[in-house]
Each structure stands twice: as C-alpha cells, then as structure tokens.
Homo-oligomer: A and B are copies of this chain.
C-alpha cells in the first residue's frame, strides 16, 4: 500500500468512529432531557446540576481510561460533554472574579465546562451578593492564591454569608522568567542584576534561580504583576511572573516554567445556595472560632484526631468581632454525612465558640 492508501484507510476508520460518537453524544443528550422531564414531573427542579454525580462519573472515566489520551485529557472531554448536556436541561450561570481571562475564569470553565454562562464581577463581595440574590447559580472564588493577594477577602466573606461551598477547583500555575524585550537573541542576558517577584513565587522557583542566576539579587514585591512592571522599566532586571504579565508589559520570556515543583497549583472554591451530597471522595470546610488561650485550638481539634480524620488545611484569621478571638478555616477529608465526621462535628459544636460547616463537596477531579 502507498502512504496515501494507508492514510485513507485510517481516515475512513476515524470517520466511522465520528459517526458513532455523534450518535452516542446525541443519545446522551436525549437521556439528559429525560432526566429533566422526570424531575419536572416530580416537582424536583432545584437539582438539575448534581456535582457529586459529575465527580463520580469523571473519576470512573479516569480509572477506566485505556489510553492513549491521558486521564486528565479524557476527563476534560467528558466534562465538556456533560456541560453541553446540562445546558440543554437548564443553562447554569456562574459568576467569577473578573475581568475575563483571569485564573478564576479558567477555574470556572474547568469546573463547569464551556457550555455554562460565565459572568465577571469586580470584587469577591459582588460574587457572593449575586449568588445570594439568585442571579447567578454559582460563584467561583480564589482561596489559595496568595500571589494574587485575594485569599483573605474570600475567607472574610464566608464569616457573614449564608452561602455554602459546593466544590473545589485546582489549577496548575506556571512561572516564567521575563525581561524587557530586547529584540536580540533568546537566552538569559549575562548582566542580569535583579529578579523581582512575589515572595511566594521566588520561593517556588528557588532551585531554578540558584542554578541559573546564583548572583542576581532576589527582590520580593507585592505581586507578580508589579514585578513585571518593575522589570519593564529596568533593563538590568528580570521578573518571575505568569504569561499574562509578560504580554501586558511587553516582556520577553527568557525561560519557561521555572517552578521547582511541576505540580504547583492554586485552588478555588465553588459557592452556591447548598453544598453537595456525598460523592464517595469528599472534603468538608469549617469555620471555627475559639478564645486565644494556650492549647484551646489543640483541644478543639481532638475529635478529628480521635476519629482518624485528616486535616488538609488550616488557616487562621483575626475575627472582626473581638480583639482576642481568632477564626480558623479548616478543611478535612470526608463528608459531613459520614458517621465519623458528623460525630466529630457534634463534639466540636459543643466545644467551640462558633462552628460553622461551610460545606461538604467532592474533591477536585481534574
């Protein structure tokens, strides 16, 4: 066979597969309409979107994926198929921290797929307000992203909002070394004196900077965008920042993806009027408050240890309600409906000044 004949054979097979895919995707969409009809007849219209079932489906797809596409890629395709089917039942509207193009929008689209309607808001407070008012079904807010300095604002909002956490999203974040566009060759200029970046980004790239720029001074600044701005004004300097900053300040990227840990991620929360039913692999987020006494936090956390429940994160914030009070945001593994978790929570509620379950939700799948 010639190259052309062999290619034609494979392409014919692809065309046949595409016909089958089209038939199955259409049948799946028809099933989604059936689900909507059954729920409508039963008067159960509040729960078209079932985060726990979507998480379960994506996990099974990843577990059974035979390759050659990797599990993330296959799950992403199924996310889009589910998103399209859901939009047919009822299109979701999702608010996020704008403007368009932020990581938060990327997180919203990663979690809900591209068939939802996303709407940018100027502040985290606006997103909470719009979801509370029901003009958005869900909101997506950053929560572990200290290079952008917005974490605390999200946590503060939870103190006074009735909204629950219905999901989490993680995004991989890449750092690049960039400097003023010289138009000259690529590579790192020999005379580089300073590297600007946020403290946390400098720390995340320390190994790389030690190896490639051992003599350049590292100058921590308020944000990575600020670092890029400074590097744009000074040809002896470089910045460590994301691609958007390079484009914004017309900097050349000298080296891509210089973070030491390739799994460098940032985390977002999905907020809505309710949290999610159990999916089999869940997290629960809590807000706890206790007196600022030695050992009081330790005592509060004893029920988790007793039940063998692991904490994945703990964050303290000064409360606005009293000089001596602290508020803790805690993530644990498990769903509040699990017997062990619900037992520990009951003990906690008795012991703490304040114990608010912000929500149980599926662990991020993608």
Contact = CB atoms under 8 A, between A and B. Distances in A.
Contacts of A74: 22, 25-26, 84
A120 interface: yes
A120 B178 CA distance: 13
A81 interface: yes
Contact of A69 (B25, B60, B119): B25
Nearest to A105: B101
A302 interface: no
A61 to B, nearest CB: 6
A4 to B, nearest CB: 9
A363 B19 CA distance: 22
A230 to B, nearest CB: 17
Contacts of A44: 3
Contact of A35 (B10, B68, B84, B121): B10
Nearest to A30: B68
Contacts of A80: 76-77, 80
B101 A100 contact: yes
Given A17-B28, A88-B69, A38 B98 contact: no
B68 A77 contact: no
Contact of A250 (B26, B38, B123): B123
Given A31-B14, A33-B68, A25 B77 contact: yes
A316 interface: no
A315 interface: no
A170 interface: no
A204 to B, nearest CB: 20
A29 B27 CA distance: 22
Interface string A26-62: 1111111111001101101000000001000100110
A287 B14 CA distance: 38
Contact of A10 (B19, B24, B31): B31
Q: Report, as a range, how many residues of chain A touch the other chain.
A: 35 or more
A73 B15 CA distance: 19
B19 A21 contact: no
Given A3-B42, A11-B35, A99 B247 contact: yes
Contact of A38 (B6, B100, B120): B6
A7 interface: yes
A76 B81 CA distance: 10
A244 B97 CA distance: 11
B67 A26 contact: yes
Given A7-B35, A35-B11, A247-B120, A19 B99 contact: no
Interface of A: 3, 6-7, 10-11, 13-15, 17-35, 38-39, 41-42, 44, 53, 57, 60-61, 64-69, 73-74, 76-78, 80-81, 84-85, 87-88, 98-102, 105, 114-115, 119-123, 181, 243-250
28 contacts: A3-B44, A6-B38, A7-B35, A11-B35, A11-B53, A14-B28, A15-B60, A17-B28, A17-B31, A21-B21, A21-B25, A21-B28, A21-B81, A22-B61, A22-B78, A26-B67, A30-B68, A69-B88, A77-B77, A77-B80, A80-B80, A98-B247, A98-B248, A99-B247, A100-B101, A100-B102, A101-B102, A101-B105
